[in-house]
Amino acid sequence: MLKSRVGILLVAVCIAWLFAAFSQAADFTIPAGYYFDANGDSLDMPNEDMNNAGSVTVHNGTVTVGGDWLNTGSFASTNGTVRFSSASRAQSVTTGGTASAFSTITITNSHTSGVTFNDALYCGTLTASAGVKKLSFGASGVHTVSSRFNVNGASGNVITLAPAVASAAWYLDAPSTTVSYLGVSYSREASGKSVIAQHSTTGGNNENWVFPPVAVTGAAAGLTSGSATLNGTVTANGGTTTSWFDYGTVSGVYTGSSTTQSVAGSGATAVGISISGFSVSTTYYYRISAQNDAGTPTGSDASFATTAETTAPVGSLGINSGASYTTSAGVTLNLSATDAAGVTVYYVSSSSSPPLAGAAGWTSVTSTTSYNANVSYTLSGSDGSKTLYAWYKDVAGNVSGTANASITLDTTSPTGAVTINGGASATSGTTAILTLLATDTYGVSQMKFSNDNSTWSSAESYATTRTWTLATGDGAKTVYVPGQRRQLVRRIQRHNHP
């Protein structure tokens, strides 16, 4: 109802505005000193401007404006809605500053240039959806949306949020929220809260917005028969971003993923991740992927081919960890080999003739670039020096050079004798001189002693004489010297002389 501060302006007009709906066919002007109160009414101005120099209050009704909005007076809205709806023209909104508070603004304007907010906007809810093309914001003040920033385009209909003046930053204070299908430039989220814009793009110069990262697949490098370094770039676009590569042997079908790399910042960041375990001479397809709160885009498909493997494995062989002798034909082989493509089989023989790649007798192992194993093996034949030979083959069929190791098999114990005090039959002291004589095909290296055949002295280098302390007490004393198959035993009678 339009009223003068001093009385009713026109009775006929006042009665018309008491209806539930009212359509205005000309620009709607509220002069200074007058006020308009929409309380549950609807005011529809499909093509007209709203010019307020007085006072306008929209409590619960809806005011639909197809023209411009110019407020130089006062405006307030508790639960009402103001809709900007033109399909044929751009609309300009001058709010009059943050003292003029909108409850809800709904944008349905579908013109290419859309709606421009010239000065600081203050509203509870700002809504714009599919069909809206553009919203522009002035650089003066902060555009505040206190409750809901509900601006979402749709696939094929991206809403542009841009400065009213080219390249001039505009400030937004909105709740932390998630929106979609926007194209945003020069926006500063003034309160420091993040607006996550899914399926959206940045035109640059934005702060506190998170857009989907941009992932660009690059060329593979460092190609070998089993490894490659995959490259690309990722632009984080305001959010903490994780990047990785997916790969497989069929284009568009990815069966493997690399480790990840974190990316931050506003510019394109190089991403390079090395991957091993590829098959030899094989074409692989790959793409870069990146993820943050706004989305998980992927780069285009690219490919590379691993090289043919021409380098044979490098291997070694040990027997019983390098021991020189063994008293048992059962030994442990220490196998070791490396290969860039992967060691897959080994061959052990007592013959030095290298086996053919397709010969029987190769033992399969799980493919690995570094193979190490301890394997049981039985030496053949009688005592003597034994030499074994080993070869390794990789996934491409390349056979290593010959690795060999030797050990002496000695299953025969030394023979010998021991005497006490030169063969005397009795002694009055506990200290005795042992005389030893031992022979062996491969030499005698150590000896040890015992008075009870249970507790032994430490092994020591073989010598022909040794001072030894006999067990205490009178009576027959026995000294034991061990051999592989029997004890060398010598007894002496010990007694004290009066």
pLDDT tens track for 194-238: 899 999 999 999 999 999 999 999 999 999 888 999 999 999 998
Is the pLDDT at 7 greater than 50? The verdict is no
Residue % of the chain over a pLDDT of 90? 66
Give CA angle at 204 (188, 68), nearest 5°.
60
Q: Using CA atoms, how far apart are residues 33 and 236, in angstroms rounded to an integer?
A: 54
Token reading at 175: 């709740």
pLDDT in tens, 347-361: 999 999 999 888 899
Q: Using CA atoms, how far apart are residues 362 and 344, in angstroms rounded to an integer?
A: 10
What pLDDT score was predicted for residue 318? 97
Q: Using CA atoms, how far apart are residues 494 and 491, in angstroms rounded to an integer?
A: 10
What pLDDT score was predicted for residue 253? 96
Kindly report which listed range (61-70, 90-99, 129-138) carries the lowest average pLDDT score: 90-99
Q: How sure is the predictor about 396, in pLDDT bands with cuts at 50, 70 and 90?
A: confident
Q: Using CA atoms, how far apart are residues 203 and 182, in angstroms rounded to an integer?
A: 10
pLDDT in tens, 242-259: 999 999 999 999 999 999
Q: What is the mean pLDDT of residues 382-401?
A: 93
Is the pLDDT at 284 greater than 70? The verdict is yes
What pLDDT score was predicted for residue 26? 67
Which residue bears the tokens 């040890």? Answer: 448
pLDDT in tens, 22-65: 455 568 899 999 988 877 777 888 889 999 999 988 888 899 99
Kindly report which listed range (9-18, 131-140, 356-365) carries the lowest average pLDDT score: 9-18
Q: How sure is the predictor about 491, in pLDDT bands with cuts at 50, 70 and 90?
A: low
Q: What is the mean pLDDT of residues 132-142?
A: 94
What pLDDT score was predicted for residue 321? 97
Q: How sure is the predictor about 308, in pLDDT bands with cuts at 50, 70 and 90?
A: confident
CB contact at 8 A, 51 and 30 = yes
Token reading at 223: 């190609």
Is the pLDDT at 9 greater than 60? The verdict is no
What pLDDT score was predicted for residue 198? 96
Q: What is the mean pLDDT of residues 106-131?
A: 95
Q: How sure is the predictor about 18, in pLDDT bands with cuts at 50, 70 and 90?
A: very low
Q: Using CA atoms, how far apart are residues 475 and 498, in angstroms rounded to an integer?
A: 16
pLDDT in tens, 434-483: 999 888 888 888 899 999 999 999 999 999 999 999 988 888 888 998 75
Q: What is the mean pLDDT of residues 144-163?
A: 96
**Mean pLDDT, the chain, integer:** 88
What pLDDT score was predicted for residue 483? 57
Residues contacting 366, CB < 8 A, separation 6+:
none
Q: What is the mean pLDDT of residues 270-297?
A: 95
CB contact at 8 A, 127 and 145 = no
Cβ neighbour number for residue 222 with a 10 Å cutoff? 12
SS (H, E, C) the chain: CEEECCECCCHHHHHHCCCCEEECCCCEEECCCEEEEECCCEEEECCCCEEECCEEEECCCEEEECCCEEECCEEEECCCEEEECCCCCCEEEECCCCCCEEEEEEECCCCCCCEEECCCCEEEEEEECCCCCEEEECCCCEEEEEEEEEEECECCECEEEEECCCCCCEEEECCCEEEECEEEECEEECCCCCEEEECCEEEECCECEECCCEEEECCCECCCCCEEEEEEEEECCCCCEEEEEEEECECCECCEECCCEEECCCCEEEEEEEEECCCCCCEEEEEEEEEECCECCECCCEEEECCCCCCCCEEEEEEHHHCCEECCCEEEEEEEEEEEEEEEEEEEECCCCCCCCCCCCCEEEEEEEEEEEEEEEECCCCCEEEEEEEEEEECCCCECCCEEEEEEECCCCCEEEEEEHHHCCEECCCEEEEEEEEECCCCCCEECCECCCCCCCCCEECCCEEEEECCCCCEEEEEEEECCCCEEEEEEEECCCC
Strands 209-210 and 187-189: unpaired
What pLDDT score was predicted for residue 193? 85
Strands 91-94 and 214-217: unpaired
Q: Give the distance, in angstroms, between the CA of residue 387 and the centroid of all CA atoms in the same chain.
A: 49
pLDDT in tens, 410-430: 988 888 888 899 888 888 888
> What is the pTM for the complete model shown?
0.65
